[in-house]
Amino acid sequence: MIRFVNFSAAFGERNIVQDLTFSLPANSITALIGASGSGKTTLLRTLCRMNDRIKNFRIAGSVLVDGVDIYRPETDVYALRRKVGIIFQKPCVFPKSIFDNVIFGVRERISRREQPDRVEKVLREVFLWEEVKDRLGEKATTLSQGQQQRLTLARTLAVEPQVLLMDEPTSSLDPKSTAAIERLVQSLKNRHTILWVTHQHAQAQSIADQVLVIERGQVSPLRTPMARPSTSSTQVLQNVQGCPE
Ligand SMILES: Nc1ncnc2c1ncn2[C@@H]1O[C@H](COP(=O)(O)OP(=O)(O)O)[C@@H](O)[C@H]1O
Ligand SMILES: [Mg+2]
């Protein structure tokens, strides 16, 4: 379980989020929606301490993973990143073979003998095994975008993280690859706590257990049509985004 408590973040004088308190329950999918520039990526990067090197980045409050504040000084950031995996909008594959990409994060922690089994296991999980099993030695850059996105997911899963952060992973994919990723994410929630950033509201509502909206530095649950029966879902979405009705 992840919990932000009175959490604020800023780049220099520019406040991004203020005094947030909310939780992501374990083994569930939370979707995060919000306009461009509202701070979605900043929050994800905060959860694996990827903003540490940005000079003017400041935080206040705490971010708890399993009850432990990840910003306390004794945190082992490498261990944190094994626990909290992140997948970006654009698949970032390394200029290495498909096999070497998948094994990248664990190549020094599991024996060479175990590596092929781990590679096969995670490639099967992301529905990529059948497509690549005969070309594992080829450069990963020869794969299509949709395949590369599933490959980056396999690379993250190989590390067996507890938390999966996904930053608009389907925004540059065709409908077939998008459906494959959505199906996959739903199959993973038994094992992982998932935070999924998306622009697609329908996607958020169909796959997530809870939908959060980030707006003007605040995070709040999406008010669903069920909670406000007299309002259409389109109107609700417009309301929470602050669009004119
Ligand atoms: N490294 C940075 N330095 C300064 N400002 C940044 C940096 N990264 C992001 N920002 C600013 O933080 C705000 C939130 O950005 P971001 O989290 O990327 O939004 P989103 O992912 O919701 O589109 C934006 O105003 C953006 O310009
Ligand atoms: Mg973003």
Question: What is the spatial distance between Cα 22 and Cα 46, in angstroms, rounded to a whole number?
Answer: 14
What is the overall mean pLDDT for the chain? 89
- How many residues are present in the chain? 245
The predicted structure's pLDDT at residue 181: 86
The predicted structure's pLDDT at residue 224: 66
Question: What is the spatial distance between Cα 111 and Cα 11, in angstroms, rounded to a whole number?
Answer: 42
- Backbone angles phi and psi of 60, in degrees to 5: -140, 160
The predicted structure's pLDDT at residue 225: 54
Residue nearest to atom 2 of ligand 1 (CA): 11
DSSP letters spanning 180-208:
HHHHHHHHHTTT-EEEEE-S-HHHHHHH-
The predicted structure's pLDDT at residue 56: 96
241 by DSSP, 3-state: which? Answer: helix
Q: How many helices (H) and strands (E) does the chain have?
A: 9, 10
Q: Is 26 in the pocket of ligand 1 (CB under 6 A)?
A: no
Residue nearest to atom 6 of ligand 1 (CA): 11
The predicted structure's pLDDT at residue 217: 96
H-helix or E-strand spanning residue 148: helix 145-158
Q: Give the DSSP letter of residue 116.
A: H
- What is the 37 CA–ligand 1 centroid distance (Å)? 6
Q: What parts of the chain have a pLDDT lower than 50?
A: 226-245
Least distant ligand from the CA of 214: 1
Pocket test residue of 13, 42, 58 for ligand 1, highest count of atoms within 8 A of CB? 42
Residue 134 CA, distance from chain mean position: 29
Residue 69 CA, distance from chain mean position: 19
Assess contact for 163 and 91: CB atoms under 8 A: no
165 by DSSP, 3-state: which? Answer: strand
The predicted structure's pLDDT at residue 240: 33
Which tens digit of pLDDT belongs to each residue from 85-94? Answer: 999 988 899 9
Least distant ligand from the CA of 88: 2
- What is the 176 CA–ligand 2 centroid distance (Å)? 23
Predicted TM-score (pTM) of this structure: 0.87
Least distant ligand from the CA of 38: 1
- What is the 42 CA–ligand 1 centroid distance (Å)? 6
Assess contact for 133 and 116: CB atoms under 8 A: no
Look up residue 245 and give its two tokens: 């009705």
